[in-house]
Structure 1
């Protein structure tokens, strides 16, 4: 349940050489406008997130141990999982107000953008987004909700599966599909 909430939050939202903040913040601000739109929400996620990088990060040490074909199959299953989680939770963001509070640059190409998500009748929640510039484009690679970073949490869960004796990439894919 918590994993689905974190995944759906991550999916709903999505350089200057010395200061990444404004461009990184713009990615999140732009994606927040379309979070609950049934037509634009899914496409916004694809454009705002670097899904292949997140999938490879999630595989951790196993990304180097599987074939290119298996890595591609995992990335496809991971994208389906994230987009499905978003679809399941999209209505929770229909009337949410998402405000960019600011950002902290880790490097000129790596920034953490902090947002406040206010839903009617609920206390506001802080959500942090890790946004990285790659090939001239800023993309979301992780999101933190309730103190948990999505990609880091997913990586731990996939490692727990893959660390089992005789586990294969198919076991990890099956976990994402269930």
Structure 2
């Protein structure tokens, strides 16, 4: 016979269980929503980038300007640039910092537009997304080539800024590019006795090399 006490005990057990299940379901739904938004973001950014790079009716200068605009809209450039300085974040003067931000932006634009200039209708497929709360996501994708070359995996690390996703880093075949730049930039400063101007000179040289189409050893810390 079911007693009133038994019913109360059952309710006392089931209520928190139901609450936990509701919270788990809510978190799963939020994660799915964040993941879907992250994948949609990467699809949009990659499609726009492909359109820009593959449009051979425009000049290289025009493609660079369009790519720079896309970068400003969709990448968290200040966060990327700050991260790349590592322990030297507080080293530059305000004037040096402004010049550094300008050069980093130009460096990324020159390198990517030059590196992707031979793009020929390759396709980027979204494979999935892993979320970290509702503020971060890593989207897995794969570039498939029309010439039979093996596909290349590309992961996109996204961080929400003012409610919108922004690109923080990109992993190409196992290498996180912002982290690679951090290693290079900090080495340049360290190898020059902490002189921040050495990094600015390094970036100017790398930009000149990219402009000339020479991407060999483009991140070397020399």
Q: TM-score range with shorter-chain normalisation? A: 0.7 to 0.9
Point out the structure with the larger strand share. Answer: 1
Deviations 1:68-108 (A, max 9, x none): 32222111111000000112023333411011111101231
Q: Which residue of 2 aligns with 1:151?
A: 178
Q: Is the 8 A contact 1:100 1:116 kept in 2?
A: yes
Q: Which residue of 2 aligns with 1:71?
A: 97
Report the Cα distance in structure 1 between the residues aligned to 2:118 and 2:73, rounded to whole angstroms: 21
Q: Is the 8 A contact 1:35 1:93 kept in 2?
A: no
2:141 to 115, 133, 136: 115
Q: Is the 8 A contact 1:35 1:94 kept in 2?
A: no
| The 10-residue stretch of structure 1 (87-96 or 152-161) with the greater mean CA deviation from structure 2 | 87-96
Deviations 1:126-161 (A, max 9, x none): 100100001112100100012110000000011111
Report the Cα distance in structure 2 between the residues aligned to 1:115 and 1:170, rounded to whole angstroms: 37
* Count of aligned positions: 163
Point out the structure with the larger helix share. Answer: 2
Q: Is the 8 A contact 2:189 2:199 kept in 1?
A: yes
Q: Which contiguous aligned blocks of 4+ residues in structure 1 show a shift greater than 6 angstroms? A: none
Q: Which residue of 2 aligns with 1:60?
A: 86
Shift of 1:177: 1.8
Report the 3-state secondary structure (helix = DSSP H, G, I; strand = E; otherwise coil) of the residue aligned with 1:84.
helix
Structure-2 change in CA distance of 1:166 and 1:41 (3 Å): closer
Q: Which residue of 1 aligns with 2:127?
A: 101
Greater C-alpha radius of gyration: 2
Report the Cα distance in structure 2 between the residues aligned to 1:42 and 1:66, rounded to whole angstroms: 24
1:125 to 128, 144, 152: 152
Name which structure has the greater RCO, CA cutoff 8 Å, separation 6+. Answer: 1
- Note the aligned Cα RMSD (angstroms): 1.9
Structure-2 change in CA distance of 1:91 and 1:129 (3 Å): same
Report the Cα distance in structure 1 between the residues aligned to 2:145 and 2:67, rounded to whole angstroms: 18
Shift of 1:116: 0.8
Q: Does 1:160 align with 2:187?
A: yes
Shift of 1:42: 3.7
Structure 1, gaps ≥5 residues long = 1-15
Shift of 1:167: 3.4
Q: Does 1:46 align with 2:43?
A: no
